[in-house]
Structure 1
Amino acid sequence: MIGELLVLYNTLFNYFLLKFTQEITGLYVKRSRLLLSAFCSGLIASIFYQTLIGALLSFIVLIGLAFSFRLQALLKQGTVLFITTFFLGGVLTSLLPFLLNQSEVTFFILCTAIAFLGLTAIHSKWRAMTLSKIQHSFVVDCDLELFKKTYSLKGFIDTGNECTEPMSGKPVHFLSYSAVSTYLPEDFHKALLEWDEKNPYQLKMFPAYVYPKVRVLTLSTVQQERSTVLAFRFDKLKLTGTTTKEMFEQYIVFTKQDARYPQDAQMILHVLAL
């Protein structure tokens, strides 16, 4: 009975480790192959219990059957698996005095839960770091020329932003109001605060130089809500960084909800900025 339980424990933990390694390294492997590898490795580890030869053979079989016996797989997947095994082993060892006081069923459930939650937490952190790294590649420096003033801003190219001004078909970008509010021309700033979304076509509060460059747009949000906004045509937008580009006479929309801008950006740029 003890031998069967040892094989079961080893197989389950091996499967968790293989699944985690697969997710981290981005290699697709069928679940049946992972289970077979986990079982064979667990069986070897149980037969050659607490021996160096058994540990090495079990580790090689675990990687080889699941991924490949080639040197590249042993180095890439093997490294991730090796580090993860040490982490999980360290966590369980530190909790061993508590775990040994439990019944066999409780011991099994607690060890399984600790392994699952620990690997899930690492995977979530890894995904967040990977996402942040990908997003950072879309960050650019922006020099925006609007109403004869230039603003230096941090922009984020949003591949999901396909908003355009209907009449001209020109791209629409989104600009954080709080990032530029203190630098806007006083007459324009005052008019912008006076504008009423419920009466969008009432634009008499704006100075004369704004009229040729303002458009009233109706946009749909991610939550499928529709809102009426003002879009202003800028003179020039220069991008530097991961991409270098100059864009002329496109539109920007001021937004107050800039807390959701990725990477602490001040502008959300149209996908055509790529």
Structure 2
Amino acid sequence: MIGELLVLYNTLFNYFLLKFTQEITGLYVKRSRLILSAFCSGLIASILHHSLIGAVISFVVLIGVAFSFKIETLMRQGTVLFIATFFLGGLLTSLLPFLLNQTDFIFFILCTSIAFLSLSAIHLKWRQMKQEKIQHSFVVDCELELFQKIYSLKGFIDTGNECVEPMSQKPVHFLSYKAVSKNLPDDFNEALQKWDAKDPYQLGMFPAYVYPKIRILTLSTVQKEKSTTIAFRFDRLKISGNTDKVLFDEYVVFTRNDARYPQDAQMILHVLAL
């Protein structure tokens, strides 16, 4: 009975480790193959658990059956699996004095829970870091020329922003009002404060030099709700960073709430800015 339990423990922990390695390295493998690999390795480890050679064979079989016996696989997936195994083994060893005081059933439940939760937490943190890295690659420096004034801003190219001005089909970008409000022309700033989305075509409050640059747009939110807003055609937008571009005569929409702008950006750029 002890031997069967040992095989079960090893198989279960091997499966957790393989699933973690698969998610981290992005290599798709069928679940049945992962289970087979976990069982074969667990069986070898249970039989040769006092042998260093047995541990090496078990590790190679675990990687090989799941992902293939190629050198490249052994290096890439094997490295991730080794680090995860080392971490999980150290964690369980440090908690062993507490775990040994439990019944066999509770011991099994606690060990598997610790393994699952710890690997899940690492995977979640890794995904967040990866997402942060990807987002950071879309951060650019912007020099916006609007109403004969130049603003230096931190921009973020949003691949989900496909908004365009209907008549010209030119891209629409989003600009944090808070980032530029103090430097906007006073007459324009006052007019912008008075403009009412409920009566969008009432534009008498804007100075004459703004009229040719105004467009009234209807935008859809992620929740499929429609809202009416006002856009302004800028003179020039210079983008510097991973991508270098100069854009002319496109549109910006001022936004009041920039708390959700990624990477603390002040301007959300259209996908075509890539």
Instruction: For 1:96, give the aligned amino acid.
Output: L
Q: What is the alpha-carbon distance in structure 1 between the residues aligned to residue 21 and residue 114 of structure 2?
A: 17
Q: Which amino acid aligns with 1:153?
A: L
Q: 1:187 is paired with a residue of what secondary structure?
A: helix
User: Which residue pairs with 1:170 in the alignment?
Assistant: 170
Q: 5 Å matches for 1:29-44? A: 29-44=29-44
Tell me the SS of whatever aligns to 2:209: coil
- CA deviations over 1:125-147 (Å, ceiling 9, x no partner): 11111111111111111110000
**Distance in 2 of aligned mates of 1:51 and 1:182:** 72
The residue that corresponds to 2:5 in the other structure is 5
Structure 2: 5+ residue stretches without partners: none
- Output the TM-score relative to the length of structure 1: 0.98
Give the secondary structure class of the aligned counterpart of 2:181: helix
Q: Could you say which residue in structure 2 is the equivalent of 1:50?
A: 50
1:72-91 equivalence runs, <5 A: 72-91=72-91
Query: Displacement, 1:50?
Result: 2.6
What is residue 144 of structure 2 aligned with on the other side? 144
- Three-state SS of the structure 1 residue aligned to 2:102 is coil
Can you list the C-alpha shifts for 1:132-177, whole angstroms capped at 9, x where unaligned? 1111111111110000000011111111111111111111000011
Bigger drift between 78-87 and 45-54 goes to 45-54
1:202-230 Cα offsets, whole Å, 9 max, x none, are: 11111111111111111111111111111
Please give the secondary structure, in 2, of the residue aligned with 1:95: helix
Q: In 2, Cα distance between the equivalents of 1:67 and 1:217? A: 52
Matched residue, 1:103: 103
**Could you tell me how far 1:265 is from its partner in structure 2?**
1.0
Using the alignment, how far apart are the partners of 2:119 and 2:149 within structure 1? 51
Is 1:213 the counterpart of 2:213 in the alignment?
A: yes
Residue identity opposite 1:88 in structure 2:
L
Distance 1:39 1:168 in 2: 62
> In structure 1, what is the Cα distance between the partners aligned to 2:137 and 2:94?
40
CA distance in 1, matches of 2:225, 2:143: 31
- SS at the partner of 1:222? coil
Counterpart in 1 of 2:121?
A: 121
The equivalent of 2:159 in structure 1 is 159
Code of the aligned partner of 1:177 = Y
Aligned to 2:252: 252
1:94 aligns with 2:94: yes
Structure 1 runs (4+) deviating above 3 angstroms are none
SS of residue in 1 equivalent to 2:27: coil
Identity fraction in percent: 77
Partners of 1:237 and 1:91 in 2: how far apart?
52
How many equivalent residue pairs? 274
Instruction: Measure how far apart 1:250 and its partner are.
Output: 0.5
The equivalent residue for 2:271 is 271
What's the Cα RMSD here? 0.8
TM-score (norm 2): 0.98
Q: Which moved more, 1:259-268 or 1:118-127?
A: 259-268
Tell me the alpha carbon deviations over residues 245-265 of structure 1, each in whole angstroms, 9 at most, x when there is no partner: 111101000011211111111
Distance 1:237 1:82 in 2: 49
In structure 1, stretches of 5+ residues that fail to align are none
